[in-house]
Chains A and B, each alone.
Chain A
Amino acid sequence: MVRKGLIDRRTGLFLVVLFAVIVLIPLGNLLLAPGTAGHVPGYLLPLLGKYLCFALLAVSLDLVWGYAGILSLGHGAFFALGGYAMGMHLMREIGDRGVYANPVLPDFMVFLSYEKLPWYWHGFDMFWFACLMVLFVPGLLAFVFGWFAFRSRVTGVYLSIITQALTYALMLAFYRNEMGLGGNNGLTDFRDVLGFSLSADSTRIALFVLSGLALAFGIILGRFITGSKFGMVLVGVRDAESRTRFLGYRVEHYKLFVFTVSAMLAGLAGALYVPQVGIINPGEFSPANSIEIVIWVALGGRGTLVGAALGALIVAAAKSWLTANFPEAWLFVLGAAFVLVTIFLPRGVIGLLDGLKPGGRHRHALPQAAPEPAE
């Protein structure tokens, strides 16, 4: 352990299980023959990888909601922007293998009779540039948005509503063909990444492992931030913003930093998500998606990071299973989860597990609902 308290028992346990999973699942695919028990079929890898991306997304939201009290209802926007950045690179990598065999323009641009590549598509043929944009674009949006919002002290519900308006506006914008990003259909028909075919099991394994490592990185980064003195101030902001401000802290700087880092993590999750599911379209910006992220965090237990990841995995797995077997029931279950968790499980699954052990950490995990003192 690098420093005391960076990795507590719970996080350590989660990381150990996570590492075991990202080792065992690929082995189950590579070593065990198809048909034997424990074999992991190739089609399952992207699905599991997708769950890990969702978990990372949940961690990024927990960082702002659980520790700084910023309930973003627009985190899906950062995820989708990261996804689009990666999707643009994958589109460029198709090259002349598209339906129209245009070496430069992606198919949809030929179809919409573009003459040349729009300026913001330049550079995306280089992988390193795309990776940079995956972090830069969501980070920049979060920085600019947060700069204005936090400086003018837009807080609580008001902030939630304008983040929701933000992702809604982006969704409408990305649906437009004039955006030059595929409009309604988004970006799809990807072939390969860095020369490796996306449909090959080896590429899928690599992406899966990368997603797992990214999740581990996100959790450790989150622990590092929240465990530092900086993180203590953040919790102070969450629990009593005015008091923290009166103590002399520049509250908006703390919020802005953590909001931007969180958006970059969300972008990273989106970038890993896109090659695994093979498509990114404006639907990812829909406000409903962003609210679903919130329920992952709430269900797992906000303010714990590990809980958020756990919540995402539980809900995503339940969604896959229910929409396949009882499609009608899924929204009932999700809706009931929202209601029951908020009323009966304010500290989420992690809180439930902690409750079983005497002496579990209560205070830190649960942000108090006490009304803010009048300014």
Chain B
Amino acid sequence: MRRLLPLLTLLCLAFGPLPALSQSLEALIRQLPEGSFSDRAEVVAAIAATLDERAVGVLEALGEGDLHQRKADGAILKVTGRGSKARAFDPLTGEELGPVPARSTTAIKVNNALRRAVRSGIATLTLMHRDPTRRLAAANAAFQSADPDQLEALGAALAAEQDSSVAEALAQAQAAALLASDADPALRVEAIETVRARGGRDALAVLTPLRASEDPAIAEAAAAAVAEIERSQAMWARAQNVWFGLSLGSVLLLAAVGLGITFGVMGVINMAHGELIMLGAYTTFVTQELIRGHAPGLFDWSLAIAAPLAFLVAGGIGVAMERGIVRHLYGRPLETLLATWGVSLILQQTVRSVFGPTNREVGNPSWMSGAFQLGEMTVTLNRLTIILFALVVFAGLLVLLRRTPFGLRMRAVTQNRPMAAEMGIRTGWIDAMTFGLGAGVAGLAGVALSQIDNVSPNLGQSYIIDSFLVVVFGGAGNLWGTFAAAFSLGIVNKFLEPVAGAVLAKILVLVFIILFIQKRPRGLFPQRGRAVEA
């Protein structure tokens, strides 16, 4: 209340004895048609000073010239439409009052000075709204319009403001309005600093024309501020690209890390890897359908339920593939490639026959939808979740490989099979489990991808080539290599996209990898030692 006092005094000073201030909004509105334009401007200011939300509509109607006075009883109406289509509304409540007979009302005249008063009044009303978010929106709108007529309203609102973020926005709006006015150059140079601190495209729009100002001090300050903002804009654009790149990289990592195990560690080319991802996505779909049908309350948990199921489904198929097919083809990598390609065709067609060829709808749980603003860039929650999920899966795999007995046996078998067998490790069983692990991780990837990609039988095909390139680029047999390759390819891709376009960027990345493999046939982080050549 203490901060409101200066405002009230200001208003009192402005409007003198003020019979208006004590009056109700209704009474004030009735005075609108009376007196000279300048008298009526005072009435408008008084209406604004009531801070009554309903007044916004009245002033807007006045500004548009829609406010009429009924000849019969002097009532004030809002009239829309012309001639026989004219209809009247209560200006305060918006309630419809029926058609208006021709010539039964007279429009309340407005001139430019009054329009200015109306704009200023509306600004006051919205800038002093009870709801801080509305006040913030009004302050931002005032910044964009940068109207010197609103200076007074802005100053008053700023003086009354208690919320610090709104106050900041108000100060910036005031500065913008000041820059558009012909105030003292020293003040305006100061205002430039305030606007620059805001940054962003809006500030750029306010400052750019000032570079051509006649006052050299202003022109210079504006030019410096514009350069500064453009620098920060460019930095945010880069940050946004990095973010998109991390997002793409996490998708690549998820898709490729399972392959990093089957191909990288075991040396088995699994061309059905993409289809295992696709099965993970369909597992999510089926889980969600069941939850929708039987326990809708669990929907927010659907992904948490689907993830282990997808791991089991894809992993189970992986184990079956290993036992049934891949096992017979060890040491013949090219034949393995063909046989697993055959499996991929069969899986694709099976899914197409069961679920149909069209895209299936997989929902986002509520906690994954939405976005928040980080500086100048938008961070969507589903992308953020997928990045975190990819990191968790990757970390889990590392722990499994490095810190568990199973991981120890797995590494023993891949490094020296006969010796591992001598030590009593059931190598065949380890092979099946390792392959199943890689396949299960593909299933997990499917759960994540179902949130951002179309779930169709072709889902897997779009990832298989990328995944292989990621693994090969990173260096087969090295999970950290896969990690580095996924994120670096993701980021490079996203930085090329604005320059070259999405498709050309992809082509360039492919060509780059092809050339890179020529130079370093074993990837970024090649394995060393005798095992490499065997």
Contacts and interface: CB of A to CB of B under 8 A. Distances in A.
A288 B465 CA distance: 11
Nearest to B335: A342
Interface string B170-195: 00000000000000000000000000
A335 B533 contact: no
Contacts of A330: 349
A221 to B, nearest CB: 24
A328 B349 contact: yes
B456 to A, nearest CB: 15
Contacts of B350: 332
Interface residues of B, number: 46
B507 A173 contact: yes
Which of A164, A165, A166, A288 has most chain B Cβ within 10 Å? A165
A30 interface: no
B504 interface: yes
Interface string A148-165: 110111111110111011
A335 B349 contact: yes
Interface string A326-347: 0010111011111101110010
A160 B533 contact: no
A176 interface: yes
Interface stretch (B298-306, B337-345, B420-428): B337-345
Contacts of B503: 172-173, 175-176
Interface stretch (B102-110, B431-439, B510-518): B510-518
Interface string A266-305: 0000000000000000000001100100110010000000
Which of B269, B333, B334 has most chain A Cβ within 10 Å? B334
Contacts of B54: none
A371 B533 CA distance: 9
Nearest to A328: B353
A45 interface: no
Nearest to A164: B465
B343 A343 contact: no
Contact of B325 (A166, A332, A337, A343): A343
B464 to A, nearest CB: 8
B339 A338 contact: yes
Contacts of A328: 349, 352-353
Contact of A161 (B336, B472, B519): B472
Contacts, number: 125
A375 interface: yes
Nearest to B350: A332
A372 interface: yes
B335 A157 contact: no
Contacts of A31: none
A334 B518 contact: no
Interface in B486-534: 503-504, 506-507, 510-511, 513-515, 517-519, 521, 530, 533-534
Main secondary structure of the interface of B (DSSP, over half): helix
A163 B130 CA distance: 66
B176 to A, nearest CB: 43
Contacts of B336: 342
B345 A335 contact: yes
B534 A371 contact: yes
A34 B507 CA distance: 51
B465 A165 contact: yes
B514 A166 contact: yes
A86 B117 CA distance: 75
B533 A372 contact: yes
B304 to A, nearest CB: 33
Nearest to B321: A339
B474 to A, nearest CB: 13
A14 interface: no
B351 to A, nearest CB: 11
Contacts of A247: none
B515 A374 contact: no
A337 B342 contact: yes
A71 interface: yes
Given A156-B334, A342-B335, A374 B530 contact: yes
Contacts of B41: none
A82 B75 CA distance: 84
Interface in B137-181: none
A342 B472 CA distance: 24
Interface string B446-477: 00000000000000010001001100100000
A158 B472 contact: yes
Interface string B252-275: 000000000000000001010000
A339 B343 contact: yes
Nearest to B457: A331
Contact of B334 (A157, A166, A168): A157
B94 interface: no
Contacts of B345: 331-332, 334-335, 338
A169 interface: yes
B51 to A, nearest CB: 59
Interface string A80-123: 00000000000000000000000000000000000000000000
Nearest to B330: A369
B346 A332 contact: yes
Contact of B339 (A148, A332, A343): A343
Contacts of A168: 465, 510
Contact of A154 (B334, B339, B348, B517): B517
A338 B338 contact: yes
Contacts of B533: 372, 374-375
A158 B533 CA distance: 13
Nearest to B532: A374
B485 to A, nearest CB: 13
Contact of A165 (B331, B341, B513): B513
B331 A338 contact: no
A152 B271 CA distance: 25
Contacts of A332: 345-346, 349-350
B518 A298 contact: no
A176 B504 contact: yes
Contacts of A369: 331-332, 335
Contacts of A175: 503
Contacts of A372: 533
A342 B328 CA distance: 10
A374 to B, nearest CB: 4
Q: Which 7 pairs of residues, A with B, have the shortest CB-CB distance? A: A338-B342, A335-B345, A331-B349, A335-B346, A169-B510, A339-B342, A335-B342
7 contacts: A151-B518, A164-B468, A165-B510, A291-B271, A328-B353, A369-B332, A371-B534
Interface of A: 71, 148-149, 151-158, 160-162, 164-166, 168-169, 172-173, 175-176, 287-288, 291, 294-295, 298, 328, 330-332, 334-339, 341-343, 346, 369-372, 374-375
Given A332-B345, A338-B342, 10 more contacts: A151-B518, A160-B334, A164-B468, A165-B514, A328-B349, A331-B345, A331-B352, A335-B341, A335-B343, A369-B335
